[in-house]
Amino acid sequence: MCPVSLPHSHDHGRCISDALSRAKALCEQKGVRLTPVRKRVLELIWNSHKPTGAYDLLPQLAEDGFNSAPPTVYRALDFLLELGLIHRITSFNAYIGCNHPEEAHPTGFFICRQCGNATELPNEQITGLISQLAEQLGVVIENSTHEITGICARCRQAS
Amino acid sequence: MCPVSLPHSHDHGRCISDALSRAKALCEQKGVRLTPVRKRVLELIWNSHKPTGAYDLLPQLAEDGFNSAPPTVYRALDFLLELGLIHRITSFNAYIGCNHPEEAHPTGFFICRQCGNATELPNEQITGLISQLAEQLGVVIENSTHEITGICARCRQAS
DNA sequence: CGTAGAATTGCTACATTATAACCTAAGGTT
DNA sequence: AACCTTAGGTTATAATGTAGCAATTCTACG
């Protein structure tokens, strides 16, 4: 399960290295290649818990001597999205790492207006909602995005 | 309440004229002006129950002799969004009319991949979800978007 | 090995969506 | 009329995302 609220302070280096090893494992399992660009993009996205825009990645890749034209980034993003290693936050045109790429799951995010951090919403609620809706409306659901903004618990207390 | 599923065939002229009179009433009530461009944009959006892109409106406005540069359309859209007369579907970069602009409400949409129609999700479910999440996460929710895609009941039966 | 085929990346150009900035016009008020 | 506020016109540009094709790297198989 994804954390629903970030601990005030956490070992973020650990966050990143965990994400990278999960990614490596998943790629091996699926027989696909976590190439340097792909790995670096994932790492950059995991640099924070704030959604990162595609064009924010370009200069950072350039610094590392990678090619830095939009297609490079978007290809890497597409690859990572496909594997579930990252999610796209459509209302921000931005991307964020996922903690549990192994299990397929409908995605939802809470994004704090103050600190900018995004946390994944608990699966149960989202799953509950969409299965309820599917039955009630008689529809077949293929995809769903849920993006909630506001003030997170920590920022609320800090103010 | 918004219809959750479109009747197979409905008097769509009525849809449009209802929307326009609601808009007129709301504008009078709020003391703002439903100018020709704004009215025409609203009408164009209500031409179907499919989300309409901003740039789709430009040539249609041009046909009617209106100015047709992006700012014109976006200003009209912003005005209509502000009043709740339309909603934005972020995952499609598109806009759609709202049946009940009077009452504030969190918005959610189901969009059919097949026929393209978008229908507003029942308020109760969305409201239920976000109030549950707000309490559980200890957050203050300011905004939420819920966009579900799949196959609607009618298209499912037709296939 | 070595070579064919597939996957990946480099690169240029371009498409789509949205906004900034500044000026003109229209409508409402005294 | 003089003034003020709101709305619209116009040009340019920002931000996000893709198409298409050539060059390279990897992989599998003989």
| Strand, coil or helix: A108 | strand
What count of other Cβ atoms lies within 10 Å of the Cβ of residue B83? Answer: 19
Stretch A134-151: mean pLDDT, rounded? 97
- Is the confidence at residue A3, as pLDDT, over 60? no
Give the HSE-up count for residue A18: Cα atoms under 13 Å, Cβ half-sphere.
Answer: 10
Which of B145, B148, B156 is closest, CB to CB, to A91? B145
* Confidence at residue B1, expressed as pLDDT on a 0 to 100 scale: 38
Which residue is the nearest neighbor of D9, CA to C1'?
Answer: B67
pLDDT digits (tens, 9 = 90+) for A31-76: 999 999 999 999 999 999 999 999 999 999 999 999 889 999 999 9
Cβ atoms of residues B110 and A137 within 8 Å: yes
Categorize the per-residue pLDDT at B60 as very low, low, confident or very high, splitting at 50, 70 and 90. Answer: very high
Categorize the per-residue pLDDT at B148 as very low, low, confident or very high, splitting at 50, 70 and 90. Answer: very high
- Is the confidence at residue B151, as pLDDT, over 90? yes
B19 CA → D16 C1’, Å: 33
* Confidence at residue A9, expressed as pLDDT on a 0 to 100 scale: 73
Which of B113, B129, B142 is closest, CB to CB, to A149? B142
* Confidence at residue B104, expressed as pLDDT on a 0 to 100 scale: 79
A84 CB-contact burial (10 Å; exposed 0-12 / middle 13-18 / buried 19+): middle
Stretch A1-26: mean pLDDT, rounded? 80
Where does chain A show beta strands of DSSP type E?
86-89, 94-97, 107-112, 118-120, 140-151
Stretch A67-95: mean pLDDT, rounded? 97
Distance from CA of B64 to the nearest CA of A (A): 32
* Confidence at residue A58, expressed as pLDDT on a 0 to 100 scale: 97
Stretch B121-125: mean pLDDT, rounded? 95
- Is the confidence at residue A7, as pLDDT, over 80? no
A57 CA → C16 C1’, Å: 21
Site of tokens 């595609």: A54
